């Protein structure tokens, strides 16, 4: 079980979420962040930090974003870990 980053994260990247993660399981893609499902311990700390409510427990991902569960698993293993808050992108 794990938490999943979904569509509202696209283009945001305020990255408030990453600093609270105790296991550093956020990974930085080009347009959004991903959570590595094998590393997330379901502490839920990140959920409240995300201003756009992009993070869900995998059991509670809304139907229209179910594909993000697989995407997080795939992309997290290809991206670099991110552990510090970054400035938002200019266009976000």
> Residue numbers of the site for ligand SF4 (CB under 6 A)?
3, 5, 8-9, 12-17, 20-21, 23, 25, 32-33, 35, 40-46, 50, 52, 54-55
Sequence-ordered strand ranges (E) for the chain: 3-5, 26-28, 33-35, 55-57, 80-81
- Residue 72 CB, nearest approach to ligand SF4 (Å): 10
Nearer to ligand SF4 by Cβ, of 14 and 68: the residue is 14
CA distance 18 to 15: 6
Please say whether the beta carbons of 68 and 9 come within 8 A.
Answer: no
59 Cβ contact partners less than 8 Å away, ≥ 6 residues apart: 1
Nearer to ligand SF4 by Cβ, of 5 and 75: the residue is 5
- Residue 71 CB, nearest approach to ligand SF4 (Å): 13
- Residue 32 CB, nearest approach to ligand SF4 (Å): 6
């Amino acid at each position: 079980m794990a938490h999943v980053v979904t569509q509202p994260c696209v283009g945001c990247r305020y990255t408030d979420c990453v600093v609270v993660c105790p296991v550093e399981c956020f990974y930085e893609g080009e347009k959004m962040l991903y959570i590595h499902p094998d590393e997330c311990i379901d502490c839920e700390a990140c959920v409240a930090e995300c201003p756009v409510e992009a993070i869900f427990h995998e059991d509670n991902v809304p139907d229209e974003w179910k594909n993000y569960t697989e995407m997080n698993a795939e992309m997290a293993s290809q991206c670099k870990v991110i552990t510090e808050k970054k400035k938002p992108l200019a266009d976000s």
